[in-house]
Amino acid sequence: MSRIKWNLEILEQLKQKNKMEMDETESIIYKGREILSSMTEEVWEGEDGDMARDQLYEIFNKEMVETWRQLDDCKTSIHKAQDTAFEAKNFCNELYQIFQNGTIPADSDSSSCGGDVLCDLENGEILKTHMENAGKSAESLKSNIEMAESILAELETDEAKYDYTSYTEPIKRQAQDVIDREKLFRVAVTRYDQKVEDMDRAFSSQMLQATPDIVPEPFDIACLQGYVFNHFKKSDIVDYVGNYETGDLGDSAGTLQIQDIFKMLFDRNDIDINSLSDEDIEIAFLKLSKEEQRAMLLGMGISRTEIDSIMASKEKRRGYFRQYFNSQARNSISDIDFKNPKTKFSTNADCADSKSKSKSSGYSGSGSNTGVVDCDSPSCAYPRLVEYDGPATRLNDAANALCDDDPSNDAQAIETMNECLDAGFYYEDKDGTKYLMYDTEYLEYCKEKAGEGSLLYGLLDDYERFLKENSAEYGVVSAFDGYSWDPTYSLKVSQLRAGYQLTLNVDSQVFGSEIDNKRVAYEATYETANNYFYEGGELNWENISEWLKADPIDEDSLEYSVFAEHMRNMTDEEIENVLALGQIETAVPFFPDIYERGPVLPIISDRYYLLVETLFFRQDISEEEYKELIDQETRAIAFAKVVEAMENNGGCKVTVDFSPTDCEDGKIYTVNMMVESRNDTAFTKDPILNSYAQSNLANSLSRTIVVYPNASEEALDNYIREEAIDVLETFEHPILLMEYSKDDVKKICLQTIEYVIGKVYGEVGKQDRYGLCFDALTIAESIAKDYEDTIAARGATDALKQGKAAESMAITGRVISTTGTGEKGIVIENYTIDEKKLLIRVASYNGSKNESLSLKSLMDSYSENGDDFQKYNDWYGSNTGRNNSNYYEYTVQKALEEMYNINSIDLASVEQVNEAIGLVEEAVAKLGIITVTEESVKDVTSWIKEEAKNG
């Protein structure tokens, strides 16, 4: 099947029901064995007694035990399916990681989650095709940029140089990101589709195999389709087996079972079987998947040994269907569906008398019921769509009016919707109990009329889910045991911040409200959210403040994406205002107010970042828009870091200042996060000590966050050095308090950081870089020794090591620094490793050092900071290692040109790069040299060209 949908809550219900059935079966077995042990020969004599003991022994020691085992098999299948469903749902929820940091999430997270597992294979293929096209466009873009670079390089002279790389490199990097991440995304979507499809197929098959061959209702086929669960029913086993052996199954087919079969065949269970031909049934049957066909045949009472032959023979199948549906099942369906006919609206004149009778009998709903009555008129026997069309059209038009930008008609639209929604209520008597029902056909017709994606569809879809999950039978709203009162009911629409809700009320007027203003649906669309956040061409900050402080109704609601769209267009000052309004102030008696981060800020933080990442994949994006998105991405990450830090605010109010500065790769966002003192008398009654304690608390929680744009390996290293220098400049060494000029102090600081960096990079000896005198150099060296012992310096030194590693490991990523009281953390986040570049560098390292280090071993050692990585990192950090690596990369590029006519390593696959490296290694071996160096690079490239000519 092309579309799969599992409801995880229903799956949990199935698991609990299976457990109950197992416990009940086990109890029956033990009770039966107790009865059997009491049936001694002294009490039960003769042939009848022996026969009874034998039969009961077979039942309680063999047949019931086998039933328990089959239920246990079902339990295993359910648990396995549930774990797989959780894995699929969690994997799908984390797919955004691909766009965030270029990694595929783990597909083995089986932690509990709710909602639906959805998989549409056709749409998945369409999505993968779009992603593949995006990747091809990115490859084309990168190739064109590189061609432009080569043209510009040829135009350069000693007198005229062009700084084109500052424009081309960011484009190339982002294009490569698109290429890499779209491939990952396609792999992830394929993995998800396959996992869900295998899960669905395996569960259906396992549950069918675990079902006994001969039981009155062999398998609850509704379970596979997600409908109402049915309990196995008691029946005369002996009579059933007799009918089974003679092939006469018509009389034993239960009504509910037949309705389930109709539901599978025609997606509805109120079919008039007399209007269907054999061809109609046959066509509907063939549209089912193989698993559904087997489930249906089992539901009809056919043993597994006969199913294969029936499925293989068209004539045998038709004959069996004819016998099955022409028996008492046909009459049973007719009786069930049409013995209590009813109309849905009072527009039919034949219902007028019935309406008055209903009221006089005390059965009609008062209050908000709008012409909905029980009807015994023959003309009302079959619901007609024309009866639904009028109110459904009014309902849809009113819902659309709520989505326009004219609030003046909203009150009338809500009144109309309430009237049309109440029209779906009616009463039905069953077994002496009166049920308040909701017309599910009317509900489904209104949904179809509205169309997916609309406000009305979303509200009705939620309401439909409520009716299915909160009652024993789909469509039942409430049940009443008395007849001497006049119950009221209503289903009302009202605005709830950025969306609209449906609330249900049912009052018997005897025991109080059975259902009191219960929210049964909520939906927000782009239009409703946009109207709420934006009014008169300006942001409505009053509404935004209310929304930011309220508990989320549905974290998956579209309103958060709509607000993220507005955030993209906000100024930095408005972003600061969002963070200020997103804090919840709670009054505490006798103490200052407590502030805490509101629940909406983390949601919009994720949506803001995800929106920006998604926009990078637009095919029509201009160069100017691309630069703007890079800055937006940096700001979105800065926003997320602040939101994360606000969780630990000590109950204090937080104010934030965003300060962007320009650099070669885009904007650098520096965010000053200031925590205000609360002047809380809980600390101490001494006002001086209290002020001091509060000031220390606020200072310890305040911090400065600096977020750099995504950058190449070289730029990462430079950014980290800048942050390390910033750390040093805040280090107040006593020697600097001497009488040095401001300029000399700056030079001493810079020279000090050179000592620290030199120690990390193995480049000690760059003393007189800033023209300092001997005394100043001595001071700088002294400061460096003291500086290395500070907490902040250790963090900066670790970051410098990361920068060095980023260069050697071909890492691109983003530098983020956080400065608090007395410490500074500098990290590289969202980094990716250029596997092709690293392959080439490892090959050069192996040749230079006579090693046999593999790419995987190096990456594992890097993650553990192991010896292999340290040796490689020191080699690449030296001038010799870096130069030899560059020469090796040049020869690999030449090999790719000769072998595949590829003029850029970025356009080659990993396999092609590996083959090119093999050719270079062959050239090195033939020429009798150790590796590619400055002296041998020409000889190696010449050998490669000659080898290519010779084929």
What would the pLDDT profile of 455-510 be if each residue is shown by its tens digit? 999 999 999 999 888 776 777 887 765 543 567 888 999 999 999 999 998 876 55
pLDDT band at 427 (very low <50, low <70, confident <90, very high): confident
pLDDT band at 271 (very low <50, low <70, confident <90, very high): low
The helix (run of H) or strand (run of E) holding residue 397 is helix 385-402
pLDDT band at 653 (very low <50, low <70, confident <90, very high): confident
- Residue 803 has a pLDDT of 77
Please state, as a whole number, how many other Cβ atoms lie within 10 Å of the Cβ of residue 62: 10
More confident: 778 or 366: 778
The percentage of the chain sitting over the pLDDT mark of 70, rounded to a whole number, equals 69
- Give me 335's structure tokens: 């009786």
592 Cβ contact list (under 8 Å, min separation 6): 678, 679, 680
- Residue 133 has a pLDDT of 83
Residue appearing with tokens 């003291």: 786
Does residue 920 contact residue 891 with C-beta atoms inside 8 Å?
Answer: yes
Cα–Cα distance measured from residue 446 to residue 399, given in angstroms and rounded to the nearest whole number = 11
DSSP state of 711: B
Cα–Cα distance measured from residue 825 to residue 848, given in angstroms and rounded to the nearest whole number = 36
Average pLDDT along the chain? 75
DSSP state of 381: S
Best CA proximity match to 560, nearest among 497, 518, 647, 502: 497
- Residue 758 has a pLDDT of 63
pLDDT of residue 235 exceeding 70, the answer is: no
- Residue 266 has a pLDDT of 72
CA angle 469-207-118, nearest 5°? Answer: 50
Of 361-375, 477-491, 686-700, which range is least confident? 361-375
143-175 b/e with 16+ CB inside 10 Å = b? Answer: bebbeebeeeeeeeeeeeeeebeeeebbbbbbb
- Give me 237's structure tokens: 């086993």
- Residue 563 has a pLDDT of 95
pLDDT of residue 780 exceeding 70, the answer is: no
* Most confident among 114-123, 129-138, 594-603, 736-745 (mean pLDDT): 594-603
Write the DSSP assignment of 3-61 as a string of letters: EEEEEHHHHHHHHHHHHHHHHHHHHHHHHHHHHHHH--TTTS-HHHHHHHHHHHHHIII
Cα–Cα distance measured from residue 43 to residue 52, given in angstroms and rounded to the nearest whole number = 12
What pairing do the DSSP bridges indicate for beta strands 534-535 and 538-539?
Answer: antiparallel
- Give me 819's structure tokens: 């400065």
Cα–Cα distance measured from residue 591 to residue 585, given in angstroms and rounded to the nearest whole number = 13
- Residue 515 has a pLDDT of 82
More confident: 567 or 323: 567
More confident: 909 or 251: 909
Question: Three-state DSSP class for 675?
Answer: strand
DSSP state of 484: S
What's the mean pLDDT in 446-462? 92
- Residue 362 has a pLDDT of 28
Does residue 676 contact residue 654 with C-beta atoms inside 8 Å?
Answer: yes
- Residue 255 has a pLDDT of 41
Residue appearing with tokens 């989505």: 403
- Residue 253 has a pLDDT of 43
C-alpha pair distances (Å), 67 with each of 55, 215, 218, 469, 521: 16, 10, 11, 29, 41
870 Cβ contact list (under 8 Å, min separation 6): none
- Residue 236 has a pLDDT of 35
DSSP state of 407: G
465 Cβ contact list (under 8 Å, min separation 6): none
Cα–Cα distance measured from residue 525 to residue 453, given in angstroms and rounded to the nearest whole number = 8
Does residue 325 contact residue 253 with C-beta atoms inside 8 Å?
Answer: no
Best CA proximity match to 718, nearest among 766, 664, 773, 782: 664
What's the mean pLDDT in 418-440? 84
- At 525-581, the pLDDT tens digits run 999 999 999 988 899 999 999 999 999 998 889 999 999 999 999 999 999 999 999
- Give me 572's structure tokens: 């930095």
- Residue 537 has a pLDDT of 84
